[in-house]
Amino acid sequence: MADKRITLADVAERAGLSVSAASLVLNDRPGTRISPAARERVRAAAQELGYRPNLAARTLITSRSATIGVVSDSVTTRPWASDLILGALREAHSRAHILHIAETGTEIATATEALDSLLDRSVDGIIFATSRARELELPDRAIPVPFVMLNATSAAGDASVLPDEFEAGRGIARALAEAGIRERIVVLGRDIGAPHDWVDTLTVSRRTAGIAQTVDEYDMQLSVQLPLSAWEPEPGYEAISELIDGGETFDAIIAMNDRLAFGAYQAMLERGLRVGKDVSVVSFDDDEFAQFVRPGLTTAALPYETMGRLAAELILTGATQPQEHLIPMPIKYRGSIRELG
Amino acid sequence: MADKRITLADVAERAGLSVSAASLVLNDRPGTRISPAARERVRAAAQELGYRPNLAARTLITSRSATIGVVSDSVTTRPWASDLILGALREAHSRAHILHIAETGTEIATATEALDSLLDRSVDGIIFATSRARELELPDRAIPVPFVMLNATSAAGDASVLPDEFEAGRGIARALAEAGIRERIVVLGRDIGAPHDWVDTLTVSRRTAGIAQTVDEYDMQLSVQLPLSAWEPEPGYEAISELIDGGETFDAIIAMNDRLAFGAYQAMLERGLRVGKDVSVVSFDDDEFAQFVRPGLTTAALPYETMGRLAAELILTGATQPQEHLIPMPIKYRGSIRELG
DNA sequence: TCACGGTGATGTAACGATTTAGCATGTCGG
DNA sequence: CCGACATGCTAAATCGTTACATCACCGTGA
């Protein structure tokens, strides 16, 4: 297995030219003059020898590495948000780049460490990603390469890619309104209109603001609001169970996320209420299971893959000026809204 | 922002020593003699200047990069298997390495491309990961660095890390047997004992073999077997619905995976059968939702994070001799098995 | 006095590319 | 026939590190 690597020198020798000439040809540098015949010989030699440039050598002199660094909190590689990475991966791949992934704990100390680790490797740009959209505290230090916040913002207002939660809020409320459901509506997970004191303000405040606007617009009546501190199936189940067992009746639920909705489904199913017939349910996120529950859950999908793609694209095209890029959250219409017959 | 990078030469100069000496000190090379005083000066200088070695330069000469490459099929970053990456990430991190991630389509052509892309970057080792355990066809070419198959095997029988499906099959069947449930058992998703003609043989054949062995051992009676081609909630729902509507009764379901089990849950719930009371359900995978359904699903967990960790560890310790490493699948006991009162 | 061995370093050559300045040619206008 | 200029290519420097051979110095024993 002693097949040592082919270097540019090998290619040059076989083509009967200097290393410099070979370099010029293979990089297709404009404005240099090498005869077509020589060009051809170099390319043929490279091809025949199976030449592949040593990226470390190239990086050393150009200080570019065809690599994008990703700093993500510990959960970006977790189920829900892994499409962020996937999107970035694909965009990078299509531009002959690769992803360097560094994990960090939740906060700044390890973020600094991860950042250093990436900079040591001369990455061409950095994506700071979080799994739940929030403001991320960046290391207090100049970052010498372009960077983008992905599903996050920074205090300094750098370039960031976010889901368009506001429009999603509007769209989800409108989906009910246009199905003719304008009253006897339960909001699960949040009190629309309460002040924003939430941890992940970013997502929540915009989502609720969108709902609130549409509720006004269509003069919809929110009969019950159930703020919850954890947006998980269990609290959703508990809250809706209590509500029903307490004698409250309602026509629709706007759940602040799918996981709450799943809990609500279960509570209603156990009590003989049929989703999509007796009660309409709409929600946010498009969790994997939203398409598997019965009936399928109508929900505004987090466009993670698209977001990841855009983040990589912004870096690779150098478009990292401070700006919020809002990505539409497409509404997946499934069977959870009652159709008026 | 014109703060150019600190190089080793800067450190050496400040310490009043040669670059070589500084290198020797900072790398703590054994067998070289530098006076304690000099060592101290070098370290102090490095510290004060905030020196960080340029990894590209180091890689160029040592051809090691403190980087592990991951070649994964398009879905390893998808929900279920992302813990594979997470585990590898953490282990790599704890050893000052970083992960280079290259995605590939499902087969060999792009795998070759991804592989090249990683080798160009002088990775120290490669993890070939798949999201559903199966045999992966490797490029027909010597791979000049250590590598490990993660959740996969190769035809050549290289080092691989797999979940211990056989023991999990035994454990899951035993969980029923020891709860006193030995007959009127439905197997959902697969005909135990049918020949293995499945796509992802690896997982399935061992899982079923484990079940079969324990069934024999405890003389359990499998009253119905429902082979299904897609292990998703919907087919699970359909199959169990038909079964119940056809008048069949049963005490337990062994689902071949959680997704089938979720479908079964729904079918039973709609028909008034109570999981964990009327019917016991056991399963495999420990999908995210297994802990959220009511009652929680007892299931053998795919130990993805541990597997990812081990894969990285094998590479970093050089233990990549051909061997199958089987990682136990812990059984998560939740409420889906009827307790005998 | 001189060879010898240990101590504490240093100098130089890699590593494999890119980049820039410049050196031969040949051609062409005057 | 000469200078200017384009053409086609090469030599050498450079990036920041590590690897390897070597060197100056000093004390010591023969």
Chain A interface includes B103 (CB < 8 A): yes
Specify the pairing of strand B67-73 against strand B125-136: parallel
pLDDT of residue B204: 86
Q: Which residues contact A340 (CB under 8 A, 6 or more apart)?
A: A179, A180
Phi-psi region of A321 (alpha: psi -120 to 50; beta: other; left: phi over 0): beta
State the pLDDT at residue B2. 42
**A14 three-state secondary structure:** helix
pLDDT of residue A137: 83
pLDDT value of position A3: 56
What pLDDT is stored for residue B106 in this prediction?
Answer: 61
On whether the CB atoms of residues B180 and B174 are closer than 8 A, the answer is: no
For helices A55-62 and B55-62, what crossing angle results, to 10°? 140
Which position has the token pair 């008034």? Answer: B272
What is the per-residue pLDDT for B212? 97
Phi, psi of B31 (to 5 degrees): 85, 5
pLDDT of residue B74: 65
pLDDT (average), residues B134-154? 89
In the prediction, which pLDDT does B1 show? Answer: 38
Confidence of residue B29 (pLDDT cuts 50, 70, 90): confident
What's the sign of the alpha-carbon dihedral B218, B224, B225, B231? Answer: negative
B20 CB-near residues (< 8 Å, 6+ apart): none
Range 250-269 of B in CB contact (< 8 A) with A: 259, 262-263, 266, 269
pLDDT of residue B307: 97
Residue whose tokens read 């200088």: B45
Angle between helices B36-49 and B8-15 (to 10 degrees): 130
**Gap between the Cα atoms of A121 and A115, Å rounded:** 10
Residue (of A163, A205, A169, A212) closest to A329 by Cα position: A163
Residues 6+ apart with CB under 8 A from A339: A179
Q: Is residue B341 over pLDDT 60?
A: no
Closest nucleotide relative to residue A35's CA, C1' based: D8
pTM of the model: 0.92
| Cα–Cα distance for residue pair B40/B50, rounded to 1 Å | 15
Q: Do B60 and A57 touch (CB under 8 A)?
A: yes
Partner B contacted by A271 (CB < 8 A): no
State, as a whole number of angstroms, the distance between the CA of B46 and the C1' of D27. 34
Question: Both tokens of residue B166?
Answer: 């056989």
Question: What is the model's pLDDT at position A32?
Answer: 82
B97-135 residue pLDDT tens: 999 998 876 665 567 889 999 999 999 999 999 888 888
Q: Per residue in A37-65, pLDDT tens? A: 999 999 999 999 999 999 999 999 999 99
In the complex, which nucleotide's C1' lies nearest to the CA atom of residue A12?
Answer: D10
Distance from CA of A100 to the nearest CA of B (A): 5
- Could you give the dihedral angle defined by the CA atoms of residues A184, A186, A187 and A192, in that order, rounded to the nearest 10 degrees? 40
Lowest mean pLDDT among A298-302, B139-143, B337-341: B337-341
Which of A:273-292 have CB within 8 Å of B? 288-289, 292
| pLDDT for residue A76 | 56
Contacts of B102 (CB under 8 A, 6+ apart): A93, A98, B69, B70, B71, B72, B114, B115, B117, B118
- A119/B contact by beta carbon, under 8 A: yes
Quote the minimal CA–CA distance from B74 to chain A in Å.
Answer: 8
A259 by DSSP, 3-state: which?
Answer: helix
Whether B324 has a pLDDT exceeding 50, the answer reads yes
- Please, are residues B253 and B224 in contact by the beta-carbon 8 Å criterion? no
Longest dimension (CA), chain A: 90
Distance from CA of A231 to the nearest CA of B (A): 12
Q: What average pLDDT does this structure show over B29-58?
A: 93
Taking 70 as the pLDDT cut, the residues of chain A under it are 1-3, 74-80, 105-110, 197-201, 340-341
> In A, which residues are within 8 Å of B286 by CB distance?
none
Cβ-in-10-Å burial (0-12, 13-18, 19+) of A160 comes to buried
